[in-house]
Amino acid sequence: MKIIPANPINEQSWVVKKNKLNEMYLTNMSLQELRIFSVYLSLIDKDDESTKRVVFSLKEFSRIADVSRQRMEYYKDVVTQLAAKSVSYGVRDDEDSPYQICPLFIKLIVEKDEYGEWRIILDANEKAMPLLFGFKSEYFRYKLWNVMRLKGKNQVRMYEILKQYEKLGRRVIQIDDLRGMLGMAKGRYKDLSNFKKRVLRPCQEALAKYTDITFEFDDYSKRGRKVDAIKFTIIKNENYQDPLKLDEIIDLDAINKKIEAEEPVLWTHPFDEYGEDNDEDLTNIGHFENVSLTGRELEKLFSMYGNKMVGEYIKKLSTYMASSGKTYNNHAATIMRWIDDDLNPDKRSFTQ
């Protein structure tokens, strides 16, 4: 079997996207499909068509995307759905205009590599190449971590739709066009107030919290007519922070030595399969070097909650134990409980 090296996923890589592709209606793309597509765009070189075939580790994608407890069938379903996504050229409603539709990818594969690690292979369709390669203008770019931290497909698409116009600082979009660009089925959220409540405001909060832009929005109409558009004001987010990298917490080599090859199930239930080979502690974590986590525990926490959040709670636990003198039997379980309590305050059942 020919060895095909995987492309390393880097959260700091640039996603370069053509404006025309960004404004197409890609109906019903799920969050994971959008993330995989963004990873693909971050791994290709728009000026080099030979990079159209991309290979990346599914474990690495799961960690960066904060995906946990998903079986392999889940990813196979995601890839199957992504394979059905198409782009179109021409005017569909004009009887005299040519119209062409083609899939984005000619090949999508989920398989194990020569080391038994699961990976995804994506190969662009030749017919879609003009949307992915060779353009010199009318495009925008963003750092991959922005979309990997967002938790909903509307949030990802809203970020891309507004990021495209960041330099201009404003954008007016017809409401029907906005629904289409968000991938919504025709007729969904027809009530404007409900659309604002369920879509615009949650996106506004998410982008302000997780990305490098924020936005304000207002109703827009021409000469006092019925509101049929939204005017967006796009603002650079001065409060965002780049995501914490793995190697800013601990040496990756030390982790990798402790992680065994995964089975075809990714992250089932946390902390339920540790054996005697996982009891070696890493004692140099945290500001006061008092947080003990095994490599497997740390990897699972990263996968479940993301690097930045786990880093913050390691620091929190380290400081709290040093200042209070309190100790915990299982630091991984403590961090998980604290995060879950903070993410779900209404269901909080424990206290420090």
Tokens of 133: 């390669």
Residue that the structure tokens 């990298």 belong to: 245
Residue 238: inside a domain, yes or no?
yes
Residues 28 and 43 in one domain: yes
Burial string for 236-272 (b: 16+ CB within 10 Å, else e) reads ebeebeebbebeebbeeeebeebeeebeeebbeebee
Pick the last residue of a domain from 141, 167, 199: 141
Pick the last residue of a domain from 141, 161, 194: 141
What pLDDT does 303 receive? 76
Residues 70 and 2 in one domain: yes
Residue 352: inside a domain, yes or no?
no
Residues 109 and 25 in one domain: yes
What pLDDT does 68 receive? 61
User: How many domains, in total, are found in the chain?
Assistant: 3
| 3-state secondary structure at position 102 | strand
User: 160 near 212, Cβ under 8 Å?
Assistant: no
Residue 113: inside a domain, yes or no?
yes
Tokens of 6: 């995987």
Q: State residue 241 phi and psi, 5-degree precision.
A: -130, 140
Give the other-Cβ count within 10 Å of 314's Cβ. Answer: 21
Residues 254 and 231 in one domain: no
Residues 40 and 96 in one domain: yes
Q: CATH number of the domain that 3 lies in?
A: 1.10.10.10
Residues 125 and 234 in one domain: no
What pLDDT does 315 receive? 84
Residues 272 and 324 in one domain: yes
Sequence length of the chain is 352
Pick the last residue of a domain from 212, 242, 272: 242
State in Å, rounded, how far the first CA of the chain is from the last one: 53
Cα separations in angstroms, 324 against 146, 293, 317, 318, 337: 36, 20, 10, 10, 19
Integer Cα distance of 70 and 76 in angstroms: 11
What pLDDT does 285 receive? 72
pLDDT string in tens for the chain (352-residue length): 445 567 788 888 999 999 999 988 766 688 899 999 999 999 999 999 999 999 999 888 887 777 665 678 888 888 888 888 887 765 555 666 677 788 899 999 999 988 888 999 999 999 899 999 999 999 999 999 999 989 889 999 999 999 999 999 999 999 988 988 888 877 778 889 999 999 999 999 999 999 999 999 999 987 777 888 999 999 999 887 666 443 444 444 444 444 333 333 333 333 333 333 344 445 457 767 778 887 778 878 877 887 778 888 888 888 888 888 888 888 889 999 898 888 776 655 544 4
Q: Which domain holds residue 126?
A: 1-141
Residues 2 and 137 in one domain: yes
Integer Cα distance of 18 and 49 in angstroms: 15
Residues 124 and 257 in one domain: no
What pLDDT does 162 receive? 97
Residues 51 and 73 in one domain: yes
Residues 285 and 318 in one domain: yes
